[in-house]
A and B are shown apart, each in its own frame.
Chain A
Amino acid sequence: MRKALARQRLIACTLFAALAFNAPLLWLFDAAVAVFGVPLVFLFMFGIWAAVIAVLAWIVESGFR
């Protein structure tokens, strides 16, 4: 049961990442705005990437037995 749930979570997380890493979502953040000097799109890109990695880590390290 838990394994099947973890598998679904992995798929959902990957689908979200695939959407976030592509048009149109990514292009929405392509604005001439800088946060602490860092361009917004750069921050979004690496932020989402890191978040996806964190969620993946959480799923596989806790979800499977």
Chain B
Amino acid sequence: MLSSSVIVGASFAYLVVLFGVALYGDRRADAGRSLISNPWVYALSLAVYCTAWTYYGSVGRAATSGLGFLPVYLGPTLVMGVSWLVLLKMVRISKAYRITSIADFIASRYGKSRLLASMVTLVAVIGIVPYIALQLKAVSSEYGLLTGAHPGSSGDWYRDTALYMALVLAAFTMIFGTRHLDATERHEGMVAAIAFESIVKLIAFLAVGVVATYFIFDGWEDLFVRAAISPDLSSLLSLDVAGSKADWFALTVLSALAFLMLPRQFQIAVVENVDERHLKRATWLFPLYLLLINIFVLPIALGGMLRFPSDVIDPDSFVLTLPLAEGYSTLTLLAFIGGLSAATSMVIVETIALSTMVCNDLVMPLLLSSPRFRRWAPHDLTGLLLLIRRGAIVVILLLGYLYFRLAGQAYALVSIGLISFAAVVQFAPALLGGMYWRGATRNGAVAGLAAGFGVWLYTLLLPSFAKSGWLPMAFVESGVFGIELLMPEKLFGFGDVNATTHALFWSMFANIGAFVAVSLWRPPTAVEAGQASVFVDILKREPRGAARFWRGQAKIDDLLALLARFLGAERVRVNFSAYAHSQGVEQIEDLQADGDLVHFAETQLAGAIGSVSARVMIASVVQEETLGIEEVMNILDEASQVRAYSRELEEKSQALQAATEDLRAANERLQELDRVKDDFMSSVTHELRTPLTSIRAFSELLLDDPKIDLAERKRFLGIIVEETERLTRLVNQVLDLAKIESGHAQWHDTDVDLIDLIEHVATTAGQLVRNRQAELALVLPPAVTVLRVDRDRLIQVLTNLIGNAARFVPEHEGVVRVVLSESETGVRVDVCDNGPGIPQDAQGEIFEKFRQASGSGGKPTGTGLGLPISREIIEHFGGTLWVTSEPGHGAVFSFELPQKLAVSASEMGEPT
């Protein structure tokens, strides 16, 4: 047992933290740095789906039906998978038309019908208030269990924890749910608190799960094996007790639809959505949350059943009693706080959602349509609006509490979870059908909702009252007036499934049937057709939306005055100024009172008082023409043509853009090539000019002065010959390089033994070295692999490298060493000299065309093409040519030819 003061203290501390989080969230929102504009927070806040019914009830269900608790979470997983199709549409519509509740959404779709709005609100209140009561009961009875006190349904009311909890939650909801009237009706602080609560309940549940599985028991295997050998529990490990296949399927469908239709889910997923892109991450993050919170449900249930003798302790409380019985008191407290967070988050959001509906869709339309109210109403209605909201919050929470006091342990309360799901699912045909089917009409929606709700009442709610002893059981057991076909849980003899599946089937049958049949009875009216196109086509680009369907005359002052009554003059001016700026107009007064402006005013108003009331109020200050169905259809046709054209245009412009990109890239490439060619040409001509100039100069000398003496003449002719040779060499090399680079060079591959080849080059190129009185040393292994390469080309490379080295070694004491070696990767040749070396930054440059290092004579003596050609040749064979050098310590030019050039043994024998 834990002392009540500890629990109350911890709970109170937790609620204080919750207020703090919400306050912080609101502060950040006011400062313009939204805390909740973040996909993680969005996904976490969606977990308001997991209530105390999940937190405690899943374990209870698992204790009797094994995996049978799971479909309730599989349905939402499936819905989230296609959230980008369904939820996105709901978010877009709600954002565009400032829709703030599910009743508003449905009413708005069917021509802003007041009847439909109030019907949806009533069904929601009837279906959800008991669910709120269930949350209060969960917290109150778990509190009683921990402290040993009796659950709240007996005893003095003022000592009842549930009452105080309801009051604290009412305060929280009033503070953060109705802080100000906002045209978007978003509550950032509240969402921050809900996301926080989602983390708390997940951590608490996982903690209990881990402790139960790994500390109280010996891991998964231990638990499952023990359960498997116990006669009572072995059936929980299979699907035998999970219900029939049809029940499983029906529960999946039910939870999937309820996930979309529950007012609290609509509030969090649609109304409080900051940015529709957050849906993307929620697509997988929210299912992951569901997976995590469910993975330990069965282990905790099995643990509880194994630990406690059967039927002593309610399995619903295993989350608390299991750690408590094992002496983990801190964990028990954490688990209790987790359950509290699950209950409070649900109650807070559900209450806000319901109070918005009650205010906007039930009370306001009633008030505004009453002539007496119009006469007596104060000019500024903002205070009244907030008052109604707050009153609705208190009334809803007290109704919940009252139901909890009255129902107590009754079946009607315990089983309300699924009954409540089945109630809100009645919205699905009208809402989903309305989003995708243009032909759906208001009368169809009303008929469907009424029929579905009626069947739900008869097959699910009334039997649950009977089982609680509030109604005679006779009509459940033998049907109304004893007619067996009318037995509420075996309607028309359909009795192979459980009560929920049975009710879901018949209510959906009636609902969808009536919805479709009545919708098809008459064509939609002009207003319905207009709204239908607005909803169905929301994902397509629509320049003007609903404003297209408005014809009439309005005065801007009237609109301003009307809005100021509900939203406050200050806010209205700010909003209208922003609108004026977006239209490119300086002053509000200069705005044109056209359809767009009237539509803007109406959506602003709809955010505060709901679309039904907003429509009535706007209609009261402007003069409108009623559009006929023909006109609406014409507008729609026009719009669809415009859409088709614009799509075509966009496709074409995309194609054009792609083509432009390609052209630009090709152009850049061409310019680059052109630049390279120019560089090359200018280098070549420059190099050609030097020898030509000296040839010409000496020839002119000889021509001008015939008396020049023979020795001098011989020297001049020698220079001319030398320069001509250099010119020839240069031209040859340019041609050579061009051929290699363009791939037109001829390659004559033969089997080459590099030892042979180096010795051959040493005799021919050795002369270059000896001319400078330097020494040429060869370091050769006894044998290397024979390679299949072009012998003449390799001789060219080697001659070039040795020639280069010879040019750079100092006279008299120069040494050029040629080293041949072989490794795994290939055959390598190093040509080392003891010249001045090459500075680090020049080592890359020397391989570029026409770049050369100064020789020992100070003047470049090569053509500047030798190394580029050599590198091209080596790379042609798949090898590499590189230089390593430290200035002052000579340079080493190396190349390596890969082993794959080796002549295989079989080819060796063949003559070449």
Contacts and interface: CB of A to CB of B under 8 A. Distances in A.
Interface in A25-65: 26-27, 30, 32, 34, 36-39, 41-42, 45-46, 49-50, 52-54, 56-57, 60-61, 64
B280 A64 contact: yes
Contacts of A61: 280-281, 284
A30 B245 CA distance: 12
A18 B310 CA distance: 36
Contact of B81 (A10, A26, A46): A10
A60 B282 CA distance: 10
B740 interface: no
Contacts of B215: none
B305 to A, nearest CB: 15
A30 B291 contact: no
A24 B248 CA distance: 11
Given A37-B220, A50-B291, A61-B284, 17 more contacts: A7-B84, A11-B81, A17-B77, A17-B78, A17-B81, A21-B252, A22-B249, A30-B238, A37-B221, A37-B224, A37-B225, A38-B220, A41-B237, A46-B295, A49-B74, A54-B284, A57-B288
Please classify how large the interface on chain B is, using the bins under 10, 10 to 19, 20 to 34, 35 or more.
35 or more
Contact of A14 (B78, B228, B240): B78
Given A37-B221, A42-B67, A64-B280, A13 B245 contact: no
Contacts of A37: 220-222, 224-225
A11 to B, nearest CB: 6
A13 B82 CA distance: 9
Interface of B: 67, 70-71, 74, 77-78, 80-82, 84-85, 220-222, 224-225, 228, 237-240, 245, 248-249, 252, 280-281, 283-285, 287-288, 291, 295, 298
Contact of B238 (A6, A14, A41): A41
A24 B82 CA distance: 23
Contacts of B248: 22-23, 26
B294 to A, nearest CB: 8
Given A21-B74, A39-B224, A49 B81 contact: no
A61 to B, nearest CB: 8
B306 to A, nearest CB: 14
5 contacts: A11-B82, A30-B239, A42-B298, A56-B283, A56-B287
Contacts, number: 102
A41 B252 contact: no
Q: Which 9 A-B pairs have the closest CB atoms?
A: A37-B221, A14-B81, A23-B245, A57-B284, A56-B284, A39-B237, A30-B239, A60-B280, A37-B224
A57 B78 CA distance: 14
B82, B228, B240 interface centre (most CB from chain A within 10 Å): B82
A49 B284 CA distance: 11
Interface of B: prevailing SS: helix
Given A7-B85, A17-B78, A60-B280, A26 B221 contact: no
Contacts of B224: 34, 37-39, 42
The residue among B67, B80, B245, B284 with the most chain A CB atoms within 10 A of its own CB is B284
B287 A41 contact: no
Interface residues of A, number: 35
Contacts of B74: 17, 21, 49
Contact of B77 (A30, A49, A64): A49
Contacts of A53: 77, 284, 287-288, 291
A17 B221 CA distance: 27
A52 B287 contact: yes
The residue in A13, A22, A50 that gathers the most chain B C-beta atoms within 10 A of its C-beta is A22
A50 to B, nearest CB: 6
The secondary-structure label for the interface of chain A is helix
A22 B252 contact: yes
Contacts of A54: 284
A10 B283 contact: yes
Interface of A: 6-7, 10-11, 13-14, 17-18, 21-24, 26-27, 30, 32, 34, 36-39, 41-42, 45-46, 49-50, 52-54, 56-57, 60-61, 64
A61 B279 CA distance: 11
Nearest to B289: A53
Contact of B281 (A6, A34, A45, A60): A60
A27 to B, nearest CB: 6
Contacts of A18: 78, 252
Contacts of A42: 67, 224, 237, 298
A37 B612 CA distance: 59
A24 B244 CA distance: 11
Which of B74, B78, B81, B288 is the most central at the interface, judged by chain A CB atoms within 10 Å of its CB? B81
Given A34-B224, A37-B225, A52 B77 contact: yes
Nearest to A64: B280
A36 B291 contact: no
Nearest to B219: A37
A39 B224 CA distance: 7
B77 to A, nearest CB: 7
B665 to A, nearest CB: 20
B73 to A, nearest CB: 9
A13 B81 contact: yes
Given A7-B84, A27-B239, A49 B287 contact: yes
Contacts of B285: 57
Nearest to B238: A30
A41 B67 contact: yes
Contact of B284 (A26, A32, A46, A60): A60
Contacts of A24: 245
Contacts of B240: 30
Contacts of B77: 17, 49, 52-53
Nearest to B227: A39
A18 B81 CA distance: 10
Contact of B228 (A34, A50, A64): A34
A41 B281 CA distance: 29
B82 A14 contact: yes
Given A39-B224, A42-B237, A49 B252 contact: no
Contacts of B228: 34, 39
B644 to A, nearest CB: 18
A46 B246 CA distance: 21
Given A17-B78, A21-B74, A49 B238 contact: no
A45 B84 CA distance: 24
A20 B441 CA distance: 36
A50 B224 CA distance: 21
A21 B237 contact: no
Contacts of A39: 224, 228, 237-238
Given A38-B220, A42-B298, A56-B283, A22 B238 contact: no
